[in-house]
Amino acid sequence: MLKGVRTQSPAELLAQVRAHGRVPRHIAIIMDGNGRWARERFMPRTFGHRSGMTSVRDVIEGSIEAGIEYLSLFAFSQENWDRPADEVGALMSLLEEYVEREADELHSAGVCVRVLGDLTRLTAAAGEAVGRVTGRTARNDRLILNLFISYGSRDEIVRAARALATDVVEGRLAVDDIDADRLGARLYTAGCPDPDLLVRTSGEQRISNFLLWQLAYSELYLSPVLWPDFTRSDLYDAILSFQARERRFGRVSV
Ligand code: FPP
């Protein structure tokens, strides 16, 4: 829904989501459109990223209220390292600022923060901030928040394949025992159910190397809203759309 034409309040939308009952366990979001949002305001791209943090906060709160168990946010891709150095630096600082500033609130809300991706490339300060918040919130279970940072899905699958090959070479695993479950157990997302719903904002219609394995049967919801304008009401719209669908997982309806 476009901004400005909404007729229902967040509370009314939430009541509809709850009344339906079938809430997705796991929602994944490709947060896109920060740069365009900033350009529309004649501001630098980093202004869009900073404003996007408000949406992150609102969507986390909205997810908790709706009873979502897992929320996966694509915050920084491996390809994003190729952006201009000042934008990469600003995104790293924002990440560090976000986890430092929000840690108390996330912890008291019962959020378990996990950071998934090639963390060896993070700045030392960002890596330390990530370690602090993930350690501190590790035992929480109201919402599992997966933040994908320096993440690329093909690389994740290659790493999993390499780990399985190592197990075979070292005699811990037979080739015939390699199956989807064993490969899934070597991904960063091991132990998480696959996303029920993938949301991408800003009108783009691509997966962009995000969770290629895990999204096999996920429902897709493409929103025209630019990420800094995305609120919990938009999240509830996405859930209501999901609730109206029939999931068949490749089978026929009964
Ligand atoms: C895509 O917009 C967004 C990103 C590359 C970064 C997402 C980061 C945030 C929302 C803020 C920080 C969040 C956390 C969790 C710390 P884009 O720059 O590709 O936008 P464009 O397609 O309009 O150029």
Q: What are the boundaries of each domain within the chain?
A: 22-152+195-243
Per-chain mean pLDDT for the chain:
95
Q: Which three-class secondary structure string do you get for the chain?
A: CCCCCCCCCHHHHHHHHHHHCCCCCEEEEECCCHHHHHHHCCCCHHHHHHHHHHHHHHHHHHHHHHCCCEEEEEEEEHHHHHCCHHHHHHHHHHHHHHHHHHHHHHHHCCEEEEEECCHHHCCHHHHHHHHHHHHHHCCCCCEEEEEEEEECHHHHHHHHHHHHHHHHHCCCCCHHHCCHHHHHCCCCCCCCCCCCEEEECCCCCCCCCCCCCCCCCCEEEECCCCHHHCCHHHHHHHHHHHHCCCCCCCCCCC
80 Cβ inside 6 Å of ligand 1: yes
Assess whether pLDDT exceeds 60 at residue 3.
no
36 Cβ inside 6 Å of ligand 1: yes
35 Cβ inside 6 Å of ligand 1: yes
> Which atom of ligand 1 sits closest to the CA of residue 227?
10
Sort 241 into a burial class: Cβ within 10 Å, 0-12 / 13-18 / 19+.
middle
For residue 146, which phi and psi values (nearest 5 degrees)?
Answer: -95, 115
Assess whether pLDDT exceeds 70 at residue 2.
no
User: Residue range 2-19: average pLDDT?
Assistant: 88
> Which atom of ligand 1 sits closest to the CA of residue 73?
15
Pocket test for ligand 1, best of 41, 60, 208, 227 (most atoms within 8 A of CB): 227
92 Cβ inside 6 Å of ligand 1: no
CA angle 223, 227, 228 (to 5 degrees): 140
CA 13 from chain center: how many Å?
A: 22
What are the catalytic residues?
Answer: 32, 80
User: Residue range 53-82: average pLDDT?
Assistant: 97
The predicted pLDDT at position 190 comes to 98
Closest of 244, 250, 196 to residue 220, by C-alpha: 196
Class of domain 22-152+195-243: alpha beta
What's the pLDDT tens digit per position in 164-213?
999 999 999 999 999 999 999 999 999 999 999 999 999 999 999 999 99
Q: Whose CA is nearest to atom 1 of ligand 1?
A: 32
CA 86 to each of CA 36, 89, 174: distance values in angstroms, whole numbers, following the listed order = 17, 5, 48
What's the pLDDT tens digit per position in 87-123?
999 999 999 999 999 999 999 999 999 999 999 999 9
Rounded Cα gap, residues 43 and 39, in angstroms: 6
Q: Dig out the tokens for 151 from the structure.
A: 């993440």
Pocket test for ligand 1, best of 29, 30, 31, 58 (most atoms within 8 A of CB): 31
The predicted pLDDT at position 182 comes to 98
The predicted pLDDT at position 253 comes to 73
Cα 14 to ligand 1 centroid, rounded to whole Å: 26
Q: Whose CA is nearest to atom 8 of ligand 1?
A: 75
The predicted pLDDT at position 6 comes to 82
The predicted pLDDT at position 246 comes to 80
Question: For residues 109 and 145, is the Cβ–Cβ distance under 8 A?
Answer: no
Cα 135 to ligand 1 centroid, rounded to whole Å: 25
199 Cβ inside 6 Å of ligand 1: no
227 Cβ inside 6 Å of ligand 1: yes
Assess whether pLDDT exceeds 70 at residue 254.
no
